[in-house]
Structure 1
Amino acid sequence: MTEQAKVPAIRFAGFTDPWEQRKFGDCFEFLKSNTLSRAGLNGENGTARNVHYGDILIKFGDCLDGERSDLPFITDDTVLPKYAGSILREGDVIFADTAEDETAGKCVELRKLPKEPTISGLHTIPARPRFPFGTGYLGHYLNSDAYHRQLLPLMQGIKVISVSKAALQDTQVRFPGLSEQSAIGAALNEIDSLITLHQRKYDKLVIFKKSMLEKMFPKDGESVPEIRFAGFTDPWEQRKLGEIVSIGAGAPPSAFSAGNFLYVKVDDLNESSHFQFDSAQRVDANTAVKPIRKGSIIFAKRGAAILGNKVRVLGKTAYIDTNMMALEPRGVDADFLWLFINQTGLYRIADTSTIPQINNKHIEPYPVDIPNMAEQQAIGTFFSRLDDLITLHQRKLELLQNIKKSLLDKMFV
Structure 2
Amino acid sequence: MSKAPKLRFKEFSGDWEEKKLGKLGEFKKTYSFSRNVEGEGNYKHIHYGDIHMNYNGIISKDKYIPSIDIPSDDSYEFIKERDIIFADASEDRKDLGKVAVVRDIEGNVLSGLHTICFRPNESLNSEFFLNHSLNKEYLKFMYTRGNGAKVLGISKSNLSEYKFLAPSKEEQEKIASFFSLIDDKISLQGEKLEMLKDYKRGMMQKIFSRELRFKDDDGRDYPEWEEKKFKDFTKINQGLQIPISERYTTEGENRYFYITNEFLKSDSETKYYIENPSESVICYEDDILMTRTGNTGKVVTGVKGAFHNNFFKIAYDKEKYDRMFLYYILTSHKMQKNIIRLAGSSTIPDLNHSDFYNIKVKLPIIEEQKKIADLLIRLDSKISKEQEKLDSLNEYKKGLLQQMFV
Same fold (TM over 0.5): yes
Q: Distance in 2 between matches of 1:250 and 1:76?
A: 54
Per-residue Cα deviation, 1:92-141 (whole angstroms, up to 9, x for no partner):
21112222232232121212222x24332232221122224346212212
> Which protein is bigger by CA-based radius of gyration?
1
Query: How many Å separate the matches in 2 of 1:60 and 1:319?
Result: 41
Q: Counterpart of 2:382 in structure 1: which amino acid?
A: L
* Alpha-carbon distance between aligned partners in 2 of 1:370 and 1:245, rounded to the nearest angstrom: 13
Say whether the 8 Å CA contact 2:85–2:116 is kept in structure 1: yes
* Structure 1: distance between partners of 2:147 and 2:324: 51
* Equivalent residue, structure 1, for 2:19: 22
For 1:297-312, list aligned pairs within 5 A.
Answer: 297-299=288-290, 304-305=293-294, 309-312=298-301
Instruction: Find the counterpart in structure 1 of residue 213 from structure 2.
Output: 228
SS in structure 1 of the partner of residue 203 of structure 2: helix
Distance in 1 between the 2:66 and 2:170 partners?
34
Other-structure match for 2:327: 338
Conservation of the 8 A alpha-carbon contact between 1:244 and 1:330:
no
CA contact (8 A) 1:216 1:227 kept: yes
**Is 1:397 aligned with 2:397?**
no
Counterpart CA distance in 2 for 1:21 and 1:52 is 31
* C-alpha deviation, 1:350, in angstroms: 7.9
User: Which of 112, 119, 129 is the aligned partner of 1:128?
Assistant: 119
Percent identical among aligned pairs is 26
1:104·1:163 contact (CA, 8 Å) conserved in 2?
yes
Contact 2:30/2:111, CA 8 A, preserved across alignment: yes
TM-score scaled by length of structure 2: 0.78
Distance (whole Å) between structure 2 residues aligned to residue 157 and residue 76 of structure 1? 30
Q: What amino acid maps onto 1:271 in structure 2? A: L
SS in structure 1 at match of 2:264: coil
Q: Give the alignment partner of residue 327 of structure 1, picking from 299, 315, 320.
A: 315
- Partner residue, 1:69: 63
Question: C-alpha displacement at 1:175, in angstroms?
Answer: 0.8
* Offset at residue 403 of structure 1 (A): 2.8
Q: Does the C-alpha gap of structure 1 residues 289 and 16 become closer, same or farther in structure 2, counting only changes over 3 Å?
A: same
Query: Deviation at 1:21?
Result: 0.9
Measured after TM superposition, the shift of residue 380 of structure 1 is: 0.9
Q: Would you say the 8 A contact 1:63–1:110 is kept in 2?
A: yes
Query: In the TM superposition, what is the alpha-carbon distance from 1:38 to its structure 2 partner?
Result: 3.0
Residue 187 (structure 1) aligned with residue 178 (structure 2)? yes
Gaps of at least 5 residues in structure 1 are 219-224
Q: Given that residues 283 and 313 in structure 2 are in contact (C-alpha distance below 8 angstroms), is that contact kept between their aligned partners in structure 1?
A: no
Cα distance, 1:336 vs. partner? 1.1
Change in CA separation of 1:123 and 1:350 when aligned onto 2, cut-off 3 Å:
closer
Partner of 1:205: 196
Change (3 A) 1:411 1:363: same
Residue pair 2:56, 2:100 contacting (<8 A) in 1 also = yes
CA displacement, residues 326-381 of structure 1 (integer Å, 9 cap, x when unaligned): 525232222212223334456877899x996766x777776542212332122111
Amino acid at match of 2:66: P
Tell me the residue number matched to 2:399. 406
* Contact preservation (8 Å) 1:339, 1:380: yes
CA drift of 1:246 comes to 7.0
SS where residue 311 of structure 1 aligns?
Answer: strand
Distance 1:389 1:307 in 2: 27
1:207 & 1:268 partners in 2: Cα distance? 27
2:31 aligned partner: 34
Larger CA deviation: 103-112 vs 144-153:
144-153
**CA distance in 2: counterparts of 1:347 and 1:50, whole angstroms:** 34
| Aligned residues: CA RMSD | 4.0
On the 8 A contact 1:111/1:135 being kept in 2, the answer is no
Question: Where in structure 2 are the equivalents of 1:103-252 lying within 5 Å?
Answer: 103-114=95-106, 116-134=107-125, 136-218=127-209, 225-229=210-214, 231-232=220-221, 234-239=223-228, 241=230, 244=233
Per the TM alignment, residue 197 of structure 1 is displaced from its structure 2 partner at its CA by 2.1
Cα distance, 1:168 vs structure 2? 1.2
Distance between the aligned counterparts of 1:167 and 1:306, measured in 2?
38
Provide, for residues 48-107 of structure 1, a one-character-per-residue CA deviation record: whole Å limited to 9, x for no partner. 44323222222112232x22113233434622x203xx4433222111222223223212
- Answering whether residue 51 of structure 2 is matched by residue 56 of structure 1, we say yes
What are structure 2's unaligned runs of at least 5 residues? Answer: none
Contact 2:281 2:307 in 1 (8 A): no
Residue in 1 that maps onto 2:366: 373
Amino acid aligned to 1:184 = I
- TM-score, normalised to structure 1, is 0.77
Q: Helix, strand or coil: the match of 1:71? A: coil
Change in CA separation of 1:307 and 1:125 when aligned onto 2, cut-off 3 Å: closer
Distance 1:120 1:300 in 2: 42
Alpha carbons 1:24, 1:170 under 8 Å: kept:
yes
**Equivalent residue pairs, number:** 385
- Please identify, of 26-35 and 204-213, the stretch whose mean Cα deviation from structure 2 is larger: 204-213
Residues in 2 aligned to 1:201 and 1:167: alpha-carbon distance in whole angstroms: 40
CA distance in 2, matches of 1:88, 1:366: 52
Measured after TM superposition, the shift of residue 397 of structure 1 is 2.5
Q: Supply the distance in 2 between the matched residues of 1:133 and 1:198 (Cα, whole angstroms).
A: 30
